[in-house]
Each structure stands twice: as C-alpha cells, then as structure tokens.
Amino acid sequence: MEYQLELSFQRPEQPTLRGQPDDEAIRMIREFEPLALRNDPRGYCVYTSEGKDSRVLGHLMRRAGVRHFYIHNITGIDPPELVYFQRRIFQEYRDMGLTTYDIMYDKSMWQLMIEKKFPPLRQMRWCCAHLKEYRTAEYGSAILSLGVRKYESVRRAKSRDELEIAAHGRNNNGIIMRCENHESRRIFENCYTKSEKRLNPLAYWPDNYIWDYSHEAGLEQCCLYQEGFQRLGCIGCPLAKEAARRLEFERWPKLQAQWIRIFDKVIRLREQEGRVNEYASGQEWFEWWLGDRAQEIPIDTDQMMLEDY
Ligand code: SF4
C-alpha cells in the first residue's frame, strides 16, 4: 500500500452527476463481470491490503454478487496490527466460501537492501516490484480490481482511473480511462493484449465517501485508524512525508532499529567493495533517508545514485 502525500493539489474533477456512488460502483462491477469471467473463471482478482479502501471494495464485490477472489501481498514491513487484522479477515472470507491467497515477497526488503546497497527513494522505488507488485501464478489472467483513489495523492490523481490497461503489469505507459465513456468501455473490453487490465471502482471516491460507506455498512476496520493513522501500509515507505514516517517509526521502534542495522551493514559492504560512503554510521544514513529533502533530490543529481546506477 502507498501513502497519502500532501493534499495541496488540484482535486480530481468530480464525477458528473450519476447515481449513488456505491450503486454506480456495483453497476460497473457487474457490467464487466462477463469480461472478468472470460479472463479467468475465478472472476475478479481483488487486490487487497485490508486497509479501509480495500475493505470497501471487497464489500462492494460481495454486494454485487459477482465471482471474485482476494489476493494479499505480504510485504514483511506492514504494521503488525494490520497483519493480524488481515489474517483474521481472510479467515472470515474463507469461512464465507470465498477464495483468498497470501503471496509472499520474492525477496525481503533487507535482502534487497543488501543487493542494491542503497535505500528505496521516492524518486526510485525498487521495492514495490518485489513486495507489492510481485506477480505469481495465483493472479492468473484475472482482471485486477483495486481500491486506488485519485484523492490519495497527486501522482494517483494524474495516473489512475476507473479502467486501466497497464503495460507489462505496471501502470507506466498504460491506458487510463473513465468508465462512463462508451469508447473507453469498448477499448477495455476489446483489448486482447497480454497487458494487465484493472477495474478501480473507487477511483473518484474522496475520503468521506469511504468512511461514510464503511460506517453505514458496519464494516470493521483496522484498529490503527482509531489511533489517527490515515493510511496503512509499509512502515517508513519513502512515498510518505517525513513527519508521517517519523510517527510510524516512533510507533514501531523495532523496525527503525532494523533499518539502522541494515544501513550499518550496507556501509560495511560498500567499504569492502571500495565504494564511497557519504555517511559514517547507519544512524546518520537513516536520518538522511527520513528527510523529505533526500526524497526529493532528482535521481540524476545525486552523486551516490550516479555512482550506483
Ligand atoms: S515501502 Fe513503499 S515503495 Fe516500498 S514496497 Fe512498500 S509501498 Fe512500495
């Protein structure tokens, strides 16, 4: 899961007047079910972290009565409270007769740090491909349905929409479209490339739609929202702002200690390879990494990055 960035951006255009947002989402989900079944007899693949958005998405799928299954990618750096919550909710889904899969990362964040010898940065996230977007046979050729919303970040406002045809499983160079446009639906239905197709029924939902729906539906949500966390996902994700990351590391200090240990280890490895180290200790490097300034440096002006990549 990714994080909410500054909200000082142009709000996405409000959907033109349609029905109630949940009715519209259910209509959209039902409309594409035949296509989902043609792609995969198990129906839609609901990609979920069991955070608030994916809880709402799953509920809409169940209300729509369409065939679907759930996939959750284990990152190894999610908050323990979310991990326990997701495990319990998946058991509830299985008790309801629904299919669930937990997909383990192919390499842990710590293995990747040893390999890359540099931490993931907002400008260069090498971890998502291994922890979040790691595709296994369980995904099959299903249409993916995600709880992504344009209101979550500037990047998502620009790059995500209700219908997506993602080139090579990533959103880069893909096609994004509104669902209400007939031509968009035609392109989505008739695209026979191997690209990943995604249906995002919550793309235009602001936060209050999510919480209103969740309350009205009586959906249980992870306890961390009651502590004031607005978005849940990888602890210390470089997409989040410094203040939010500091709060996370204060809340889960063992993970901070683990990051500092791995920075120390990478410094030693770099020394053994005769490479330049800007930082004398893991603590120093960690402090730099937490700062927003570090995250905003364009890749091609960072000397260490140039050296490494
Ligand atoms: S830490 Fe952030 S960038 Fe890395 S896998 Fe998690 S969500 Fe993706």
**pLDDT digits 0-9 by tens, 27-41:** 999 999 999 999 999
What are the tens digits of pLDDT across the range 80-124? 999 999 999 999 999 999 999 999 999 999 999 999 999 999 888
Q: Ligand 1, residue 236: give the atom nearest the CA.
A: 1
- Listed by start position, the domains of the chain span 21-227, 242-296
Cβ–Cβ < 8 Å for 232, 222: yes
What token pair was written down for 166? 């993602």
CA dist 79 and 223 (Å) reads: 11
Angle between helices 109-116 and 253-272 (to 10 degrees): 30
Residue 300 confidence (pLDDT): 38
What token pair was written down for 97? 């007769």
Residue 18 confidence (pLDDT): 60
125 CB less than 6 Å from ligand 1?
Answer: yes
CA of 129 to the centre of ligand 1 (A): 9
241 CB less than 6 Å from ligand 1?
Answer: no
Edge-to-edge strands, sheet with 99-104: 99-104, 68-74, 44-47, 144-145, 196-199, 163-166, 175-177
> By three-state DSSP, how is residue 74 classified?
strand
Residue 173 confidence (pLDDT): 65
What token pair was written down for 51? 């955070």
CA dist 122 and 186 (Å) reads: 35
Q: Ligand 1, residue 2: give the atom nearest the CA.
A: 7
CA of 121 to the centre of ligand 1 (A): 9
Residue 42 confidence (pLDDT): 98
Residue 6 confidence (pLDDT): 35
CA of 3 to the centre of ligand 1 (A): 9
Matching residue, tokens 């995002």: 200
78 CB less than 6 Å from ligand 1?
Answer: no
Residue 222 confidence (pLDDT): 98
120 CB less than 6 Å from ligand 1?
Answer: yes
237 CB less than 6 Å from ligand 1?
Answer: yes
Question: pLDDT per position in the chain (309 positions), as tens?
Answer: 333 333 333 445 554 446 699 999 999 999 999 999 999 999 999 999 999 999 999 999 999 999 999 999 999 999 999 999 999 999 999 999 999 999 999 999 999 999 999 999 988 889 999 999 888 999 999 999 999 999 988 888 888 899 999 875 444 568 889 887 888 888 888 887 778 899 999 999 999 999 999 999 999 999 999 999 999 999 999 999 999 999 999 999 999 999 999 999 999 999 999 998 889 999 999 999 999 877 676 543 233 332 322
Give the CATH number of domain 21-227.
3.40.50.620
Sequence-ordered strand ranges (E) for 159-243: 163-166, 175-177, 196-199
CA dist 151 and 165 (Å) reads: 20
Residue 185 confidence (pLDDT): 86
